[in-house]
Amino acid sequence: MKKITTLFVLLIVVTTLKSQTIFPDNGPLYNDEIVPRIDITVNPDTLAWLYQYENLLSNIEFTARFIFNDGEIIDTIEPVGFRLRGNTSRYSNKKSFKVSFNTFTSGGKYYGVEKLNLNGEHNDPSVIRSKVCWDILRKMEIPAPRANHVRVYINGNYYGLYISVEHIDEEFVKTRFTYNDGNLYKCLYPADLNYLGEDPDLYKFESGDRRAYELKINEEADDYSGLAHFIDVLNNTPAENLKCDLDEVFNTYDYLKVIASDVLFGNWDGYIYNQNNYYVYHNSTTNKFEYIPYDLDNTLGIDWLDRDWGTRNMYDWQQHGDHYRPLYERVMNNQELRDQYTYYMNQLITETLDIDSLITAIGQRRDMIAPYLTIDPYYPLDYGYDMNDFYDSYTIALGGHVDYGLFPFLQTRVNAIIDQLENTNMLPVIKYIKHQRSSASEVWVRAYTDVANLPATVNIAYTIEGQGSLEQTMYDDGLHNDGEAGDYIFGGLIGDIPENSSLTYQIRVMDNEGRETTMPCEPVFVPQSGGSDVMLYINEFLTSNEASIADEHGDFDDWIEVYNAEDITVWLGDKYMTDNLTQPNKWQLPDAYIEPGAFQIIWADDEPDQGPFHATFKLSKDGEDIGLFDANMFAIDEYIFGPQTTDISEGRLPDGGPDWVLFEQPTPGASNESSDINGQNESSSFVLYPNPAHGDVVHLSSPLNYAVYNIYGQIVGKALNYDKINISEYNKGVYIVVSDKGEKGKLIIN
């Protein structure tokens, strides 16, 4: 019998209401309670070449061996890509390095990341400032990289104490925003977000040998229209409409937290002052851009511009007499957004952080990393630092570019902010608004709120078919699809919606002092329920395929099985499939038909050039969505799945039924109800051998009438009263042999 693990599924609607940033655990790779050791082994001639002056700017990646050792875990990965990284740091004596796990191994990852940034921190005598900033950003719930200290050895030689900082790429945005199909732009000087015109190509301008807004995801499409629209709205919206219109295209409220963090850090090398060092990501779930901080070593008292960042005005951080910074300056000129920034800054220095406790924690980490710096041969080479300078850099200014000791800077900065804070009251903030129909007559709504004066009253204000004005209470009790009780996420249900009715809604929040906010400014439209009555089902899928089934090219890719429960043939050409329910038309199925009771395999390999049933997306082993939609973008079938196991599929039992189970022996292209062990049907009267098959012929244990089906449900061979199958013309892969009595056997050809 086929082994089946029952999966009890309660498909709660809240699982589809994804929009908040997710914060992955540090895991072993970014464990900051110890200082792990990283060994790189690379050809000595290659290493010498990398250090030659004329090659310092090269981004060629060379093969290397990577070993990670934290005292408990010792892993070796080979080959990895290895090169120098950074800009001006390439000319330092203590250089920074990039390790890539996927350059020479397609899809290669280590603990979920494809690349490591090993930063030498040569400008910072404390070797800790950027780490402090990354940790504070994560406390502020900003999508920031994980980071920890590591010891780096190259070819057995100690290269010193480094900070390993998570690389910002498609894996980063997927772990923070659920999907990674939006455009990600790396923004370096002079990326000021000023309007250049309607033509998206105008924003592809270069500075030096790279684009100021460099596309890092979907590079082949090279589409800058979304970025151009965001910049247009940011620059050209009238002041009185800015809060509403900007909220439609940008996660404004989380960016207010970034401003507060940058100003606390004394960050002059980011967007606000230097038009530099940040990413923006077009979040496909919300259709809004997200701001992602980047490169925070020039902070907390490090200065190259002869400015006093410890006392600078928190409301006047931009550079004067230079390019306009619309994202910062327009926000500061909007009183409501300015008040919310004030609230977040006050929250940061009084609730999120306790400066005395922070200084104590930094001191403990200083003492943990000190032994590894004592023997760092590269630490003294750039500025002549010794261990006295290391300890002093925490408490006093060292001169040069170190204007403050780390602890005095924090104390000075916080005191200056306390003196500068405006005495204002913040209106309630509403963000991460999402909805989902749970049935034709019900819609769940939820939203996150920030309220200065609690308790708050939260309601859904809605109309049905544009008639009347109704309200429904929202709750933060853990019982209304609102997450956990007390997490400031409120949920509510709009029920008893008449058949074939649309509705519009907004969220209304009132704080304890009567201040009120309604968002979004334009009501959200929810169309009437409907959709195709066709009985097509997402019947089975596999997200991590190493040995279960190969496609017609011999590749072991992700796959999805579609089942036709109709008694008629169904045309697939007007249907769509997606791995992101907010983008239902991600991939259009080919001009093909599926017969009654048949099963169709879709290869989710993002290789559409390989054939008509190869989709433009891949599935995530960590969990995501699968959706099948009709021409009107109504859902035919949807499924949201969690983490998966290699070569174990998940599918409906019975076919097209409501219950999902795990199959230790997947059945692609065949009924989930068929029993299967080692490729054989237990009740079959025939045996296939050899199986898996090699060569030209497979034998049957007895003559019979049979047909051979490929993974697409097509007949590729048949015979009457015959005991052999000629496979000389068959591609590698999985086939189903069906007798005239309905008995089935799985045939694997390697």
Q: Please, what are the domains in the chain?
A: 37-420 (no CATH), 429-526 (2.60.40.10), 536-663 (2.60.40), 688-749 (2.60.40)
Sign of CA dihedral 28, 32, 34, 36: positive
d(C-alpha 1, C-alpha 678), whole Å? 10
Pairing of strands 624-629, 576-578: antiparallel
Sign of the Cα torsion 31, 32, 33, 34 reads positive
What CA–CA distance (Å, rounded) separates 11 from 15? Answer: 8
Q: Checking phi first, is residue 465 left (phi over 0); if not, alpha (psi -120 to 50) or beta? A: left
What's residue 548's pLDDT? 81
SS3 564: strand
The pLDDT, as a whole number, for residue 686 is: 75
Give the model's pLDDT for residue 16.
35
- 3-class state of residue 545 by DSSP: coil
Q: Which pLDDT does position 1 carry in this prediction?
A: 33
Tokens (6 digits) for 254: 């989380």
733: three-class secondary structure by DSSP: strand
Cβ atoms < 10 Å from Cβ of 159: 20
pLDDT, residue 737, reads 84
DSSP for residue 427: P
Listed in order, strand segments (DSSP E) in 247-344 are 278-283, 288-293
125 prior amide bond cis, ω within 30: no
Q: Is residue 258 helix, strand or coil?
A: helix
The residues near 146 (Cβ < 8 Å, ≥ 6 apart) are 24, 26, 29, 30, 134, 138, 165, 166
**Cα(183)–Cα(282) distance, integer angstroms:** 5
Amino acid 11: pLDDT: 27
Q: Pull the structure tokens for residue 337.
A: 């957004």
The 3-state DSSP class for residue 157 equals strand
CA distances from 359 to 312, 366, 395 (A): 21, 10, 11
* Ramachandran bin of 407, using left for φ above 0, alpha for ψ from -120 to 50, beta for the remaining angles: alpha
What is the value of pTM for the model shown? 0.78
Smallest Cα–Cα separation from 309: which of 416, 383, 390? Answer: 416
Radius of gyration of the chain, Cα coordinates, nearest whole angstrom: 29
In whole angstroms, what is the distance from residue 704 CA to residue 214 CA? 62
CA dist 438 and 506 (Å) reads 18
pLDDT of residue 225: 97
Among the listed residues 725, 717, 732, the one whose alpha carbon sits nearest the alpha carbon of residue 698:
725
The tokens describing 748, both together, are 């694997």
User: Per-block average pLDDT, block size 10, for the chain (750 residues)?
Assistant: 32 37 86 96 97 95 97 95 93 97 90 95 97 95 96 98 97 88 95 97 94 95 97 98 97 97 97 97 92 96 96 96 92 96 96 94 97 97 97 97 98 97 94 81 91 94 92 94 90 90 94 95 83 80 88 90 89 92 90 91 93 93 88 84 86 85 86 53 62 80 82 74 86 78 75
Q: In the structure encoding, which two tokens stand for residue 429, read together?
A: 């903030």
φ/ψ of residue 349, rounded to 5: -90, -10
Inter-residue contact 82 to 64 (CB < 8 Å): yes
Q: Tell me how crowded residue 332 is: count the other CB atoms within 10 A of its CB.
A: 18
What is residue 461's predicted lDDT score, i.e. its pLDDT?
96
- CA 155 vs. chain centroid, Å, equals 34
Distance CA 326, CA 340 (A): 18
Integer Cα distance of 350 and 417 in angstroms: 11
Order the strands of the 429-439 sheet from edge to edge: 429-439, 442-450, 489-494
- Distance, in Å, from the CA atom of 372 to the CA atom of 460, rounded to the nearest integer, reads 56
